[in-house]
Structure 1
Amino acid sequence: GREGRFEAVGVASDSAPNRSVSSQGWFQTYLKVSNIFANLFPVWTVLAAGAGLANPALFSWLSTQYFTLGLAILMFSMGITLTLSDFKRVMSKPGPVTINFLCCYVMMPLLGLLLGRAFNLSAPIVAGLVLVGSINGGQASNLCTYIARGDVALSVVMTTSTTIGTIFMTPLIAKVLLGTIVPVDAVGVAVSAMQVVLLPIVLGVALNSAAPKFCRQVEPLCPTIGVTSTVLLVGASVAGCAQAIKNSGWALQIVVMLLHLVGGAAGYWLCRVCKFGETVSRTTAIETSMKSSAFGVLLATLHFGDYLVRVPSAVSVVWMAIMGSSMAVMWQFMPVKDLGDDQEEE
């Protein structure tokens, strides 16, 4: 659980090698500021989305090329906090990881499809909802899990498993569920997933294996880089669809909110039904609810013919942050009473 080092926001630093007293002081100050900055991630997300909606020109410099680079940097910053032993943990805790994977790539795409049809939304918007459902878990879920008193190490493993899974699952779902609704380049989706997701993570893990001391030194920079990249991606995502978001009205807002809310609740109760404890259930709920929506915007922009397909992902970047952080804050004030139950999946 929370007793381990929180890789996602780079909290640990006592092992930093031989700094002078003054530099150590500056470093501790940086860490405190960095942690406050990272913990306010949902606030920055909403502010960036509001700015993108009100004045899209603010983010006009962030072209698709820079957007892709920003996502790759985000994935790389995650990769250098991971080791091969983190991947081995997938095998040691297959139950929760499998439930999360199925929630991510079976339940959420189908939920997006059902909600889109239930609210009688247009075909490209429905396709966009399914796309939101079929992308990997977002990196901010690790932060929200920490705040919610969940299992951060398990959260990192879950995020990693769905992130690697997106290489083959997202194009497969796009072809099976969306191929008859809107034109989609499934091969292009797979190639983008490999370029933007897999390659940066592999490079990050490789660097961490080859130069662990160096990575431990730069790791505290990861939260600042990760949050800054995410906030810029959110602003650019909303700015690129600002008029379409305004035109879509409240129906799309409600549907996207429900997608993240119902998804999170289902993830939680699935774990409870399967006799996993509170800590694991909270972790799975947040992992299921929070998606890498900016990646959805990129995929829709590059590989879907209809402009409107990207709109649900742009709306999702905001609701994903709001729902995830709301769950985290709510659970932070609710103590975990059944820690014994969580030993069942050890």
Structure 2
Amino acid sequence: MLATPLRRAQRSRALAASIPAEADAPKATLFETYTKVSSALTNLFPVWTVLFTGWALADPAAFAWLTTQYFTAGLAVLMLSMGITLSPKDFARVATRPNAVLLNFALCYGMMPVLGLGLGKLWGLDPAMVAGMVLVGSINGGQASNLCTFIAKGNVALSVLMTTATTIGAIFMTPFLCKAFLGTVVPVDARGIVVSTLQVVLAPIVLGMTLNAKAPKLVSAIKPATPVVGVVSTCLLVAAAVGQVAEPILDAGLSLQVPVMLIHLVGGVVGYWLSRLLGFGETTSRTMAIETSMKSSAFGFLLAKLHFGDFACRVPSAVSVVWMALTGSSMAVAWRFMKVNPPKFDRNVRERFEKVDVISIVKRTLGKK
């Protein structure tokens, strides 16, 4: 007789426990659907880039409302969407091993300008176009690279540090390289670059990390949508830049499209495999490839517009806006579906390279001279 009431009580408790689970089931299903839709939209990033580019070429006036103010706000939203995926620990881990950042800086301002010059000469472009190719190679990394790194399962904190380093470096490296390769002094607004970096990169990242720390439930709810927000922001920014120079892009033809495409493609390939040969892991190598490939082409176009008399100098940067976004987004989506395997190269090689104090070596070398 005692067993029957006991069984009834157990069944009642089990039934009561199942009710909240059943009530939460629709919520779970809705969240899964929301996550799947966000993922599907993100996976079509290259397609959206092509569609928005085509739209801007066909109807440049459609994006005329995206003035400089909105352009800056769009970049800030893009960086905020990346900031909520990060924590201070991510940057602390990267800061202990700065050699990846230094390698990217060397590729950005060492290899890429030479690559731009070589491709321009190889394709027989006229001198003004060659100058534009060198300028594309001599500018800093673009902010959209952080989004592509996130989609590619790379190291976002490292990507942000690389972008920041090359952006600050543009203050002195871009004028120096233009003078060295082209004999032209291109003045760069140092204060403007620092302020823009704080507004567009650092402030949104810090705000995003603060939200991640203080409101984790809110962040976990909106995090699946962050890549979509980034994709939309990037596509609008690309369309706005393309719309301003639609005519020269259409007039450029394949003679310019191919070398501009190659500067981004070759940069990415070299960045990836050089990282692997030096013993860096897969996530760092993916980050290096994207950061090397993707340049701030809109900044290059602005410099060409302000400081180069020949209109043809602007055209490579205008074409680069499209190929930079298309190459970066294609790499990102391809890697999104590839497993991040452990490094195949000797770990000791990587550790030896990462422990090299590059700054001390440079100081000793300069001291000897």
The TM-score, its normalising length taken from structure 2, stands at 0.73
Change (3 A) 1:62 1:277: closer
Structure 2 contact 108–141 (Cα < 8 Å) conserved:
yes
Shift of 1:231: 0.7
- Pick one of 239, 243, 248 that aligns with 1:235: 239
Deviations 1:138-157 (A, max 9, x none): 124325533xxxxx2x3x13
Q: State the AA in 2 paired with 1:181.
A: T
Which residue number in structure 1 is paired with residue 10 of structure 2? Answer: none
Give the superposition deviation at 1:279: 5.8
Q: Which residue of the partner structure matches residue 58 of structure 1? A: 62
Q: Displacement, 1:227?
A: 0.7
Q: 1:136: which partner in 2?
A: 141
Give the aligned partner of residue 188 of structure 2: 185
Task: Work out the CA distance in 1 between the residues paired with 2:34 and 2:300.
Answer: 33
Aligned to 1:145: 152
Is the Cα contact below 8 Å between 1:183 and 1:304 reproduced in 2? yes
Q: Do the aligned partners of residues 70 and 324 (structure 1) sit closer, same or farther apart at CA in structure 2, a change above 3 Å counting?
A: closer
Residue 78 (structure 1) aligned with residue 82 (structure 2): yes
The separation in 1 between residues aligned to 2:281 and 2:93, in whole angstroms, is 18
1:111 paired residue number: 115
TM-fit CA distance, 1:105: 3.4
**2:35 matched to which residue of 1?**
31
Q: Is the 8 Å Cα contact of residues 129 and 316 (structure 2) preserved in structure 1?
A: no
Q: Please tell me the residue identity of whatever aligns with 1:288.
A: T
**Are residues 302 and 66 of structure 1, via their aligned partners in 2, closer, same or farther at CA, if it must alter by over 3 Å?**
farther
Q: 1 CA distance for matches of 2:127 and 2:299?
A: 22
Percent sequence identity over aligned pairs: 48
Are 1:102 and 2:112 matched, yes or no?
Answer: no
Contact kept in structure 2, 1:71 and 1:295, CA below 8 Å: no
Shifted more, 273-282 versus 77-86: the winner is: 273-282
Segment drifting more, 115-124 vs 70-79: 115-124
**Match for residue 313 of structure 1 among 305, 312, 317:** 317
Structure 1 pair 105–82 and aligned structure 2 pair: CA distance change class (3 A): farther
> Greater CA radius of gyration, 1 or 2?
2
By how many angstroms is 1:52 displaced?
0.8
Which stretch shifts more, 218-227 or 98-107? 98-107
Q: Which deviations, in whole Å up to 9, do the C-alpha atoms of 1:254-285 show, x marking residues without a partner?
A: 22111112212221332243244566444432
The Cα offsets for residues 188-221 of structure 1, whole Å up to 9 and x where unpaired, read as 3343333322332233233334444433333223
1:261·1:289 contact (CA, 8 Å) conserved in 2?
A: yes
Range 174-183 or range 40-49, more displaced: 174-183
SS of equivalent to 2:152: helix
Distance 2:30 2:312 in 1: 47
Give deviations 1:116-152, integer Å, cap 9, x for gaps.
4554444476246524552225124325533xxxxx2
Find the counterpart in structure 2 of residue 163 from structure 1.
Answer: 163
1:159 aligned partner, one-letter code: S
Aligned to 2:73: 69
Please state whether the residue corresponding to 2:253 is helix, strand or coil: helix
Stretch of structure 1 that moved more, 84-93 or 132-141: 132-141
Distance 1:141 1:326 in 2: 9
Q: RMSD across aligned C-alpha pairs, in angstroms?
A: 3.3
The structure 1 residue matched to 2:271, chosen from 267, 274, 281, is 267
Structure 1 residues 271, 29: closer, same or farther in 2, change over 3 A?
same
2:28 partner amino acid: Q
* Distance in structure 2 (CA, Å) of the matches to 1:81 and 1:131: 30
Structure 2 equivalent of residue 14 of structure 1: none
C-alpha distance 245-340 of structure 1, shift in aligned 2 (>3 A): closer
Alignment size in residue pairs = 320
Check the 8 A contact 2:46/2:330 in 1, yes or no.
no
Aligned counterparts of 2:321 and 2:207: Cα–Cα separation in 1: 26
Q: Is the 8 A contact 2:295 2:324 kept in 1?
A: yes
For 2:152, give the aligned amino acid. Answer: T
Q: Where do 5+ consecutive residues of structure 1 fail to align?
A: 1-18, 147-151
CA contact (8 A) 1:132 1:293 kept: no
Alignment counterpart, residue 227 of structure 2, candidates 193, 206, 223 = 223
The corresponding residue for 1:12 is none
